[in-house]
Amino acid sequence: MKCVYCCNEIKEEEFAREHVPPKSFFKKGTSSLITIPACRACNNKKSSDDEFVLNILSMSDLISINPQYQFHIDKMLRAVKRPQKVGFIKEVLSSTHTVITPEGSKNAFTFDESKVSGWAGINAQGLLVYKDYIEHCNYNHSTIILNLLKVELPEEKQLLELILSFAKSTPSKRVGSSEFEYWIQTQDKGYVVIQCFYQELYFLTMVEHCKI
């Protein structure tokens, strides 16, 4: 058995079950979570990125105003109180600014979009491993954060409307009560994976075949 991240053979003492998405994204006690094989070194290395992305998603106004997901806000607030999170808090506060939206002025913050989209791409590959489309994650991938598309640009608005229309009209695979769902479509050069977190946050990932 190979690790889905480094592709090395996993020894029995190094085996770890990698949750896709991470277990921390769901309410405690959620059953039927997706797991794939990983070595402990890769599993531990990825956990810091998991926490970073969960904190970013939790601060989205699409999530923070929804009482259904208050448990994530509580979890994030507990986490950021730890001394090692001081740098993260300073970075967020220093990037806070006001933006004008159709609903009026809102506070916003900037974050490392490449880190979040890269994480979503790896998560998409994990789903492909779980569904037996690929054997491990040594594939090329690129991800678009659909919620960040500029809808004033016709081509980006058209893409967003196309993906949302597809998601609403096509049955998805669901994990948890409403925390996560996904769609997989096979293409000539690979796969398209759409992920939706908390019914609001969408990621589109292209995963292409490459020589292993």
Q: What is the tens place of the pLDDT at every residue in 44-66?
A: 888 888 988 888 887 777 666 67
Q: Reply yes or no on whether the pLDDT at 111 is more than 90.
A: no
Question: Measuring CA to CA, how many Å separate 170 from each of 18, 138, 167, 191, 210?
Answer: 27, 28, 5, 16, 28
State the CB neighbour count (10 A cutoff) for residue 194.
21
* Among the listed residues 212, 172, 175, 208, the one whose alpha carbon sits nearest the alpha carbon of residue 192: 208
Range of lowest pLDDT (11-20, 96-105, 184-193) = 96-105
Grade residue 99 by pLDDT with cuts at 50, 70 and 90: low
